[in-house]
Amino acid sequence: MNAGIEIRDSERELDRFRRRLAILGVFVLVLFSLLFLRFLYLQVLQHGHYSTLADANRISILPIAPHRGIIVDRNGVMLAHNYSAYTLEITPNKVESLEATIDELAAIVEITPRDRRRFRKLLDESKRFESLPIRTRLSDEEIARFAVHRYRFPGVEAKARLFRQYPQGEMFSHVVGHIGRINQREVEQLENDGRLANYRGSDYLGKTGLEQSYE
């Protein structure tokens, strides 16, 4: 009689185990179904959206400064042309202490009092998220020294820039004119004229003479 009771108890335990196993199986099936549906939603239905977000994270659009045209006279004599040189630029809002950073940079490359005054003037006229030159026309040796210490200066970059040169000097300066950095008043004027977008990536415009008339 005890054997019969034990068999029935074993059968009940087995049935109970099977029910639990079935419930667990259903739970696992539902879980995997939900995961599959989520995967389907993300990879198929939302693929375009997340692909766009991924591209936005790895791709940034930066304006490229246009090259100013070469100016020659009717005999082909060069009056104005471009040459490339490196500048050392600081983005103020990426630097904790501007003065301390400039002092540390001065131990690596030459930064004169005039460079400092010009930088402060540009800082007063510009937005803090714009990169501003603290030194222009760096030598290859100075670029190499800065590259070694680059990791110490977040917010400071060496950039290749185009500079304007006038081979004839002052001889034709009143006709050729000159270029200069865009100031805040000119930014507002360009914005009012709807031409500001044409100057994205460029910091300079013609101020006088042919340089101005060819803008």
User: pTM higher than 0.75, yes or no?
Assistant: no
DSSP reduced 3-state for 203: coil
83 with 116, same domain: the answer is yes
The pLDDT of residue 95 is 92
Q: How many Å apart are CA 8 and CA 26, to the nearest integer?
A: 27
Q: How far apart are CA 95 and CA 129, in angstroms?
A: 10
90 found inside a domain: yes
186 and 117 share one domain: yes
Tell me the two tokens of residue 113: 């009092």
Give mean pLDDT, residues 94-120: 94
Q: Say whether both 43 and 93 belong to one domain.
A: no
Check residue 86 and give its pLDDT: 93
| Same-domain check for residues 131 and 31 | no
51 shares a domain with 119: no
Whole-number pLDDT of residue 42: 74
Q: Is residue 126 part of a domain?
A: yes
Check whether residue 47 and residue 76 sit in a common domain: no
> How large a percentage of the chain has pLDDT more than 70?
85
Shared-domain flag, residues 54 and 78: no
Asked which of 37, 58, 79 is the last residue of a domain, the reply is: 58
Q: Which single residue is written with the structure tokens 């070694």? A: 148
- Residue-range definition of the domain harbouring residue 38: 2-58
Look at the chain and report how many structural domains it folds into: 2
CA 136 to chain centre: 20
- What local confidence, expressed as pLDDT, does residue 105 receive? 96
Residue 10 counted as domain residue: yes
Assign residue 168 the CATH number of its domain: 3.90.1310
pLDDT tens per residue across span 79-106: 999 988 999 999 998 998 999 999 999 9
> Does any domain span residue 95?
yes
Bridge partners of 83? 163
Burial of residue 177 (number of CB atoms within 10 Å: 0-12, 13-18, 19+): buried
In a domain, 179, yes or no: yes
Q: Which residue has the tokens 């930066």?
A: 62
Residue 187 lies in a domain: yes
Co-location of 89 and 37 in the same domain: no
C-alpha to C-alpha distance for 63 and 61, rounded to whole angstroms? 7
pLDDT of 133-187, one tens digit each?
999 999 999 999 999 999 999 999 999 888 898 998 888 888 888 888 887 788 7
Adjacent-strand bridge partners of 111: none
